[in-house]
Structure formats: C-alpha cells, structure tokens
Structure 1
C-alpha cells in the first residue's frame, strides 16, 4: 500500500514530531510512504533527511485550489492508496484532491480544537473520510461534549507513539550546561506556551516556592517555544519567579532540538495541562525512564492508568503538586519503581512500533472494505 502523510506546517509540536517518527519508521514496518507538506518550519531539514519522498506544496490561501490540483496530480502519478491528514486544513485539501477517486482518506484528531472555523471543518470532514483516528478516549469525549462532534461515525482509537531510539541517550548534557552539581536535583516540563487554555506552566511555578523551602537544591526547567499570543502567559510565569525570589533556580530555555538530552538530565518530569489529546512529551518521558507527575485530566489519567504509572495531582492545584514533587524527590526508591514500570507500559502502548502496528492494521481494513 502507498500512503501520503500530510502536514500543513513543520513546527516543533507534538503532531509534527509524531508524523516525523511515523515517516522515519514506516519502511521497516512495510509501509510505502510519501510525505507532503503545505508549509515550512524548523523540522523541514529532519523531514528532508528521511529515506522517503519529501514534497513541498506551499499553501497560499485558506482553501487553495492550486494546491489541491497539484496534490491530485501527485496522488495520481504515484498511485496512492491512502492520504492521511492531521488537521482539518489538511483534511479539506485531501478531500478536494481525492474527489471522484478510489483513494481512501484518514483524518487524525491529535488535540482539542480551539476555534469555530476548524470545528466546522471537522464536522464537515468526519462523515466524508474513511477513518477518523482519535489519540485517546479522553480526547474523544472532549470532542463530543465540548466541540459537539459526532465521534460515533467511524472513529478508531490509536494511541500516539514515540520512537525510543530517538529518545534514549546516556548524555545528561543539560546538567553541565546549567552548571549543576551532583547534589542538585533537576525537575522540568517540556511543552509550548499557547494562547489558548492548553498547557499550564503557571501551576508549576506556583508550586516551586514551597518545594524549594523543603528541598533547596532543586532546579526547574521549562522547555518550549512561546506561541504568538502567549507572550503574556510566558511573562506572567517569569515575573512570578522574579517576585518570589526563585528566578535564579528556574530556567526558561525556549525551544530545543536536544529533547533526549533534556530528558536524560531530569530527575522528575512534570506535565501540567488543562486539555490534551495524548501528549507525545509524556510518552517520551515515560519511554526515557523518567518518573512523571501529571495533571488529573482524562487523557493523562488514561496514559497513567489512573496513577499506576505516574504520580497525579489535582489540575491547577499548586499545593497538591508541591506535595507530589516533594514526596517523589525524597523517595528515590519510589522514583525508580515508577519509572521502570512506566517505561515497560509505554513500550507496549505508546511506542512508535505499537502505533505503526495499529495504523497498518487500520489501513489494511479500510482498503479491504
């Protein structure tokens, strides 16, 4: 089978890294893939280095008929069987490019849909694709209850999966970069600052004064870019740390391309969030064997089997989070047990191999139906 994977942009986000891992491992799983993007971004070089065809068609309009015609020609000339999109904007162009053909359309839902325009596009596409994929049951319920989408129409659960080979490293180089000594413990979160209510770095910031009063040799890092419109959120976090006198112990590092080294440097990974699909950052931390603390939102409870494989704190409750951080940092035995069990669980459920096996099965099913 020949499959096109499409992305609108190539930013360093969860969906983009997920598709990069899919394309990197497709051939070894017997999948013949072509990657088509409609825009640019920092991951472009990494996609171009893959051993599959890379095609760029610049999107100039919200619905670009020139792009659609070019995409149709690519589909025909390469005898494509399936086109797989990850956002409504890609899904609309894939739909138009395959009208009147036998090419199967797949649409993945990776996270919550924040604006009405994309919700309307999703409502249009759901009954017009051959398979809708949702990254978690928690996201499926959100799409139904909050976005008003029909999630009973041909929806399939396929957990996101990260590539362990990409993540595992023995180089905790961030500790050296920050000049940390052996007694200092490093905690942190990997996640972008968004303008919409998604990631919640502020709750971590608010937990830190209490953590530092109990364990002074703790340092905290935040890794991730500041999206347009999220500058105020970012500045509030920075100002809070300054006003409470902890700014010399908290590092805002921005976007990084050395996530494996960041993870290898952490004693504890924290993921504070309000809405998620199935965050790749958490999968990566679990696969890297880093003990994790997660917000108690449905997708994260699903990932941790209700706290079996991660410590859980009440969302937006900095006191509860501080207690969980202190408890784990003071209990090395529990950290080791938690990380070992979580790694085994993640390899079975949230690795790229697990993801591709389920994806391959779904592709085969829709081609034979």
Structure 2
C-alpha cells in the first residue's frame, strides 16, 4: 500500500515526532511511505534517515495555483493510493490535487481551531466534510469538531490515540541531570516538560510553587521547554518566580534533547493545560513510572484514565497544593503505584498499537 504523508514544515514538535515514529514503525509493517513537505526544519535529517522517498514541494509564492498541479503529478508518478494530510491546509491542497483520481484523502486533527483566522475557519469548514476519513487524537477532540462543524457522517470521524515510541524512555538511571543542577538524590525534585505556548499554563504551577515554599516542605522544580516569542508566558513565569523568591528553587532549563533522562530523575511530574488535545508529555511521564499531577481538562481526564495520575481543578493552585502535600509526605508509596501503572500506559499508547490501527483504517478505505 502506497501512502504519501503530507506536512507543512519539519520543525520539532509533537505532530512531527508522531509522524516520524509512525513512518519508522510502518515501514517494517509493509507500508510503502513517502513524505511530501513544504518547508524544512530541524527534523528533516531524521526523516531522511528513515530511508523513505522524500519530496520537497514548496509553495513558491502567496497565490501559487500551479502547486496543485505539481502535487497531482507527483502523487500519480509515485502511484500513491492514500494521501494522509497532517493539517487542514495540507488536506485542502490535496483535495484539489486528487480530484478525478482513485487516491483517498485522510486528515489528522492534532489540535483545536482556537485563534484561527476567518479564512482558516472557512477552509476547515470546506475540507472537513470532503475527506474520506478524519482522524482525531482523542474523543474530546472529535466531539468538539463534530459539534463545531455539524459533522453528520459520524462513521468518517475516527479516534486513534497518539502513539509513542517508549523505547526511548528505556535509558539507564543516571543522576547526571541532578548533578547538573546541584541537587542530591534525596532532595525532592519535581518538573514540568513542555514549551511555553498558549496551550499550556505554567503560571498556575508557579503560583502553586509559591504556596509550597511557604510550607515546611523542601523541594526543587524544573521547567523544561523553550520560550515562545508569540506570547509572554515564559517571561511572566520567570518574573513571578523572581518576585516571589523562587529562583533558588526553580530552574528554567529551556529546550532539551534528553527528556527521558530528565524524567528518570524526577520524583513527580506536574502539568497544567489550557486546551491540550492529547498530552504526549503526560503520557511519557506516566510510562516512565513517575507520579503525575495534571489538571482536570477533559482530555487529561481521558488519557490518564487507568494510568494512576492525580487530577486537580484547572487553574486552582490551592487544589494542586492539596494533592501534592500527601505525596511529599509519602513519596515511596506514590512511586511504587506509578511504576505498577507504567506497563498499562505503554500498552495503551504504544507506537506499534497506533500504527496497527492506522493501517487497519487505510485498508478499510482503499
């Protein structure tokens, strides 16, 4: 089966990582994959290393009508049977390219349409009803789009959870990250992983940390994630911590490529979401056997079910404090429970399970 994956840019992110892991897993499963992208990025070299055919098809100027014809010619030359778009805009371009062919169109939804322009909403309203299948990364995300865009053909709206390559979490335990920060193993180290973007709410965690330092509990906390120039969240968090005397306990280490090693060094993982559509970092933390504290945003309730995570009321730093204090007083029992639940999480959200579901879906529409 020949499948063309279509994506805008190859910058490092959750969508791109999922696509890379999918291709790595799908090729041994007998799927013949090619990748079509419009813009490069930090992950291009990793996609090249998979050995699949990669085509760079940029939009040459703002109104590039000939793009559709170049895309159509490319798909036909590769004898593609399915084109799987990773964004609505890619699906919109692909729709016009496959008219009159036998090529099926699949669109994955990785996030919400919050903050989109009028044109983007109109484009989405057009394309969401014209694909062969839409894939959503959670039930909550599917239900949102079904209601928001009045999708009557429910059979075309499929939920396939994100898949994670858990082999990358199998790193030997090392205290080098604690040593890097000057934190000894007995000290309580908690952390949050995720870039400072609009979908996250690290400021609520900062407010919780201010309350925690006023108790008798000693702790250290690390924020892993890059600053985003489109909002002030990172700067607001640093300012809050500075004004409240937290910078001797709280570390902002930026973007890191050793997240599995960092997870192994944490005693607890704390997360706050505004409107995540899945929560890869939360699942990775549960799979690493780390106690997880996350707000009760509906998607987080969905993905942590049966995974042993502890939910607190969204944006309620006092409720988070109430959930954390018992953990601090009885850390070993929490760690033991988290390790027992890790295997259940790995089975439910493995990349192998994800790819098997995707291939089954492809076979149903070809």
Q: Give the TM-score band, short-chain normalised.
A: over 0.9
Q: Deviations over 1:207-236 (max 9, x none)?
A: 002223346542111122233321x22111
Identify which of 178, 183, 194 aligns with 1:180.
Answer: 183
Q: How does 1:126-145 map to 2 (within 5 A)?
A: 126-145=128-147
2:360 maps to 361
Q: Does structure 1 retain, via aligned residues, the 8 Å contact 2:204–2:316?
A: yes
Q: Does structure 1 retain, via aligned residues, the 8 Å contact 2:177–2:265?
A: yes
TM value normalised by structure 2: 0.92
SS at match of 2:221: strand
Give the alignment's Cα RMSD to 1 decimal.
2.0
CA drift at 1:69: 2.9
Shift in alpha-carbon separation, 1:235–1:66, aligned structure 2, 3 A: same
Residues of 1 paired with 2:235 and 2:249: CA distance?
16
| Structure 1 unaligned regions, length at least 5 | none
Shift in alpha-carbon separation, 1:34–1:310, aligned structure 2, 3 A: same
1:7 maps to 7
| Structure 2 unaligned regions, length at least 5 | none
Q: Deviations over 1:125-162 (max 9, x none)?
A: 112111100111111233345x4452744100101111
Q: Give the count of matched residue pairs.
A: 362
Q: How does 1:97-108 map to 2 (within 5 A)?
A: 97-108=97-108
Shift in alpha-carbon separation, 1:51–1:203, aligned structure 2, 3 A: same
2:283 maps to 283
Residues of 1 paired with 2:256 and 2:113: CA distance?
25
Question: Which 10-residue stretch deviates more, 199-208 or 68-77?
Answer: 68-77
Q: Does structure 2 retain, via aligned residues, the 8 Å contact 1:193–1:224?
A: yes
2:94 maps to 94
Q: Does structure 1 retain, via aligned residues, the 8 Å contact 2:283–2:304?
A: no
1:192 maps onto 2:195 in alignment: yes
Residues of 2 paired with 1:46 and 1:262: CA distance?
22
Residues of 2 paired with 1:176 and 1:69: CA distance?
56
1:345 maps to 344
Q: How does 1:1-369 map to 2 (within 5 A)?
A: 1-61=1-61, 64-114=64-114, 115-116=116-117, 117-145=119-147, 147-150=148-151, 152-153=153-154, 154-172=156-174, 173-194=176-197, 196=198, 198-214=199-215, 216-230=217-231, 232-305=232-305, 309-367=308-366
TM value normalised by structure 1: 0.92
